[in-house]
Each structure stands twice: as C-alpha cells, then as structure tokens.
Amino acid sequence: MLLRGKKVLLGICGGIAAYKIPMLVRALIKEGAEVRCVMTSEAGQFVSPLVLSTLSGYPALSAYTAQESGSAVWNSHVELGLWADVFLIAPLTANTLAKLAHGQSDNLLTATYLSARCPVLVAPAMDLDMMAHPSVQSNLKQLTSYGIEVVEPEFGFLASGLEGKGRMPEPEHLLERIQTRMGRGPLSGFKLLINAGPTYEPIDAVRFIGNHSSGKMGVEIALEAVRRGAEVYLVHGPLRFTLPDAAFAQVVPVVTAAEMERACSEWFDRCDGAILSAAVADFRPADPKANKIKKDQAPEAIQLEPTPDILAGLGTKKRTNQTLIGFALETDNGLDNAWKKLTRKNLDWIVLNEPGPETGFGTETNRAWLVHKSGEKRDSGLVSKAELAGQILDVLTHAAP
Ligand code: C5P
C-alpha cells in the first residue's frame, strides 16, 4: 500500500493507449490511492467513462457541467486541480500536448492542468513520426521547462502497425513513476552503487589499454534506479556519450581500474546494494611512462600486471543485508562460467550476456541470463538496454538476498 492516502488525478486524452488506463486505476487503488479521472471528450471513444467511474468510485468527468437530478452542476476544474497530490496525464496526445505547452484551456482537462498546484507527469503516446516531429519535441521541451515530468514513451509495436518509439509505458511502469514522484518508489530509501563503462590503463602519457564498452548498460541501470526512487552512486569510466541529467546522489568519473576501485570501495559500505556492470580492464601496464614514448624508442614488450578485481573485493566485505550483482560477458560455456563467477565473487545475482551483433558492447539492445545464487535462471529475451535495466532492478526489488 505504497500510496495509502494519496490523491491521484488521471487526465486521459483520446489516444488508443487509453484502453489501458482502467488497469492503472485498479493498480493505484490497490496501492491505497484515491483516484479521480478527467478526460477529453475524444478519450471516451477509446475507454468507457463508466468503467473509469466504476473502478475509481468517482464520476469520470469531461465537461464543465453535468446534469444531476434534473439540474446542472458545475465540475470545478479549480477544485479538481487543488484536490490532487499528483496529476498524471496519460496517454497525452499531440493535440493536448500543444495546448498544455501554450496555456490553451478549452476543455475540463486542460483547465484542470492550469489550476493544478501538485506535481504533473505526462506520458505522451502517439505514432513514431508524430512523436519525432520537431513541433512535438519542442512542445515536450516546453513542458519540461515548466517542471512537468515527461514519462518517455517506449519502443515497440504501435497501433498503426508501425514499430518505433511512441508506445505508452505499461500501467505498472506508470504506477512506479507516480510512486517515485510521491517519494514512495519501489526503491525509495535504497542506496545503490553502480559502476559503468570501460577503464583506461595508461601505457604512457597519451596511450592506454582499454575496451569497447560504451557504458550504456550501466548508465541505463542508473537512470532507471533513479526513476524508481533509489539514491544512486554512479562511478563511471570514460563514456562514449554525454551522461544524461538525472537526480543522481553522486557521480564519480574515473579513468583507471585503481581509481574505480577506490571510489567503489569507499561508497559500497554506505550502500544497500551494488550493481557492477563496468568492463574493468583485467590487465594494466606494470610501469606506465609519465611522458609520451618516442616512436623510435618503441619498447619490445609491455609488461602487464593484473588490475584489482573490484567486484570480488566487494564480495569479500559484503554484509548479509547488502545485495551484490555482477556481470559476466562470456563467449563460451556462458552459464557454467557465470555460475563459477557468482560463487567465487560471493554474488547474489550475475547477469550473463554474450557479445553478438545485437548484444554486448556498444549495441542498443541486449539479451541476458539473470542467474541467482539459488540456481534460479531468468532469460531476459532480446530487449532494449533500458528494459534489461528494469528487469535487473526488478530482481533487486523483489528478490533481495
Ligand atoms: O571475471 P570477469 O571480469 O569476467 O567478471 C566480470 C564482472 O566482474 C563484472 O561485473 C565486472 O564489473 C567485474 N570486474 C571487476 N573488476 C575487474 C574485472 C571485472 O569488478 N578487475
């Protein structure tokens, strides 16, 4: 009952995804929230107001006035706007988005939005080309600049038959976003250490040993963990993209394995769990040169030494109330090797992935086995890295040590 006593106002626009909103109403009520619905007149074509009012116990409103016992009553947008502790508009259509971005108020939903003093979240859902249109993107930026939280649409199959970015997130994800916004996310109060990206081990002042890790997997986990309310301590090596803005508790950029180890062991003690996704270099030059080695002074060989195993180090000092999740990237005997790593490094879960055209380093998608220390195994399926991040955090939430 994470939302006990909270008043949630849902704004529903005329998009096909509206048919999923009754599931959200039910889920909110199960969590103890009080729910009221306000809808555009077109929304009623996609979801029945009767279903919404039956589930919520309040009339689902779309007009400024209604007839009650033969006389007109005023549905006050001001009263509705002030009633809510949080207002989620989902699905948000391009049309209503444009109205919200420009302060237009021609129906009960848009007038209520202007009257609301509570946090507002919107979940835009539309066809991929509409979503990508510069005017839609500029209106979304406009809303963000007003402090509105935009719940990013997901990739996938769209009602038009096309496939792309534009799907409204599933009701359970919308529920999580509301919970997090209310300070009651599934990971609220959980302190989580995450590492991401490669490490670079210097050969001399300008050269290094590194690998092709982009850092995307770990950063997706960090972003999703923030969305679910966790206090995230992110230690990352050199990333191949700009780190998106998010409410991280701490971000520590590092370059070498030694720096990453220092930061991780410092933060781990105060965390409830850690997910180590970084592709830490296994070896480093034993004697890096301070200056650039001249072309005509090329060494015949570079002496290497092992880097510290950060994950194994955290495994030795893990407390019983801490959850430790590691990664394994394997080309052969994946499950066997992952299991050996899980036991040797004292992990609770290991995420096994195999490099391939759609998985592993630098790709947008990934496929992994999530293996628990009990022997339980879950196949993630081929999914986006953001979605895999969600599955990893699900196991952290629902199956702590
Ligand atoms: O043993 P292997 O390198 O395959 O294990 C991979 C896991 O160990 C990953 O979670 C990675 O972040 C972690 N690791 C580490 N320090 C190293 C090497 C790997 O923390 N030096």
Q: What is the pLDDT along the chain (401 residues), one digit of tens a residue?
A: 889 999 999 999 999 999 999 999 999 999 999 999 999 999 999 999 999 999 999 999 999 888 777 888 888 888 999 999 999 999 999 999 999 999 999 999 999 999 999 999 999 999 999 999 999 999 999 999 999 999 999 888 888 888 888 999 999 999 999 999 998 888 999 999 999 999 999 999 999 999 999 999 999 999 999 989 999 999 999 999 999 988 899 999 999 999 999 999 999 999 999 999 999 999 999 999 999 999 999 999 999 999 999 999 999 999 999 999 999 998 889 999 999 999 999 999 999 997 777 777 767 788 999 999 999 999 999 998 989 999 999 999 865 44
Q: Which residue has the CA at smallest separation from atom 7 of ligand 1? A: 327
> Is residue 310 within 6 Å of ligand 1 at its C-beta?
yes
The DSSP H or E segment spanning 315 is helix 310-317
Distance CA 399, CA 1 (A): 19
Q: Whose structure tokens read 């534009």?
A: 166
User: Which of 75, 211, 337, 346 is flagged as catalytic?
Assistant: 211
Strand partners, 350: 326, 371
Instruction: Give the integer Cα–Cα distance in Å for 112 and 115.
Output: 5
Q: Is the CB of 209 under 6 A from ligand 1?
A: no
Say if residues 326 and 342 touch (Cβ distance below 8 Å): yes
* Ligand 1 and 307: CB distance under 6 A: yes
Query: pTM of the full predicted structure?
Result: 0.77
Taken in order of first residue, the domains within the chain and their CATH numbers are 7-181 (3.40.50.1950), 191-399 (3.40.50.10300)
Nearest atom in ligand 1 to 313's CA? 20
236 to 33, 242, 258, 310, 382: CA distances (angstroms) = 38, 12, 12, 13, 25
Query: Is 380 in contact with 354 (CB distance < 8 Å)?
Result: no
Q: Whose CA is nearest to atom 8 of ligand 1?
A: 311
CA separation for the pair 132, 139 (Å, rounded): 11
325 Cβ below 6 A of ligand 1 = no
Residue 308 Cα: closest atom of ligand 1: 21
Does 337 qualify as catalytic in the annotation? no
309 C-beta closer than 6 A to ligand 1: yes
Neighbours of 371 (CB within 10 A): 22
